[in-house]
Amino acid sequence: MKITAIRPVLAQGERKTFVFVKVETDQPGLVGWGEATVEGKPRAVAGCVQDMEPMILGFSPLEVEHCWQVLYRSGFWRQGVIGLSALSGIDQALWDIKGKEAGKPIYELLGGKVRDRVRMYTHFGGDTPEAMAESALSKAAKGWDAVKTVPIPITNILDGPRVLDEAEAGLKAVREAVGNGVDILLDMHGRVTPQMAIRYAHRFEPFYPFFMEEPVQAENPAAMAQVARATNIPIATGERLFTRWGFREILETGAASLLQPDACHAGGISEIRRIAAQAEVYYAGLAPHNPYGPVSTAACVHVDFTTPNFVIQEMVDPDDSPLSMTEFVVEPLSVVDGHIMPPEKPGLGVEVDEAACARHAPDFGSEAVRSSSRSYLARHRDGGVADS
């Protein structure tokens, strides 16, 4: 069996442009699907997928690790977010082919499952404490027992009690609304400095957050470790880190006890498994980052089923993004009471609907698509650019 083509398939969702990756083989009808979505840079990663195609054309798609090594180590340059995302999508697609050829779901090829179901969490929002509480309650009513939000406003290098009071009021309202039966996860988006992250953490501790994600940018593990030492809230990070080398210093410095590699960015299924094993040595858990589409979700779930130190899995609530989560694939994985059961179909268990993607092909000249890139711009009150 040989790889005969690798191509990106783009589709415009509610909030972002999705990049799916199709790997074709010389076996009639046998193709694999992956996802390589990158916020604000869909054409860049799609172009990189095309650039990588000739590197493994003619290779066996069943030799997943060989293909991974060629894509990662060849061409002189180590990969950044664009290259690793392209590689990640291709890697997922190769595992999809391998599973289909074997007639087994991918988790069976990774050593078999170590749990009966995978716990999922989704997102809630709101601009006021009352709106946040209502949003969290609506998720809990649908069976989600873990929900995540961004609890803080844009915060300066050093800020006063106004922002702390605002953040505390929101979290307090949510905890009082949902009780202790729902875990609350906090995403700081790397927006603040260590000193402000510590101040926020001390305000949040009475409400027992499940974890605090990216309190500072992961580019400085020592700064994140400073926060981790100052609070009893578990620190999570990883969405902006790539490969096991990117996570090494996080673990060595004790900067985080929960790693969040992204199946679309960190190196695909192959590399997330290695990162999880690396984390286990440090008694750190795995909670893959995944605010993306149904293919990425499926890829994560297969890893989750086979990973002993897995904790919880992120996904977009299909009710919030029905186009992205249900229309772009033929049969998406279903969530029941906040959990996903083991997929039974061979490979990933989901198939991209190319006709649906074609109907929603992105128009990069349209204001809707352009504004999705601009939506990540954030500013401080004085007009200075803030981390988003």
The whole-angstrom separation of Cα 204 and Cα 212 is: 9
Residues 96 and 257 sit within 8 Å (Cβ to Cβ): no
Token pair in block for residue 46: 């799609």
Residues 48 and 83 sit within 8 Å (Cβ to Cβ): yes
Three-class DSSP category at 207: helix
| Of 123, 265, 289, 302, catalytic | 289
Residues 171 and 184 sit within 8 Å (Cβ to Cβ): yes
| Of 189, 202, 339, 360, catalytic | 189
Q: Where are the alpha helices (DSSP H) in the chain?
A: 42-56, 64-73, 81-102, 106-109, 129-141, 161-178, 194-204, 221-230, 243-252, 268-281, 294-306, 322, 354-359, 367-374
Query: What dihedral do alpha carbons 338, 341, 345, 348 form, nearest 10°?
Result: 60
Q: Nearest 5°: phi and psi at 20?
A: -95, 155
The whole-angstrom separation of Cα 288 and Cα 280 is: 14
Token pair in block for residue 296: 């990425």
Q: Which of 196, 229, 191 is nearest to 213 (CA)?
A: 191
CB atoms near residue 387 (< 10 Å): 15
Give yes or no: 189 in active site.
Answer: yes
H, E, C per residue of 287-321? CCECCCCHHHHHHHHHHHHHCCCECCEECCCCCCC
Residue with tokens 């061979």: 346
The helix-helix angle for 81-102 and 294-306 (nearest 10°) equals 70
Token pair in block for residue 50: 């095309």
Give yes or no: 265 in active site.
Answer: no
Residues 237 and 255 sit within 8 Å (Cβ to Cβ): yes
Known catalytic residues are 189, 289
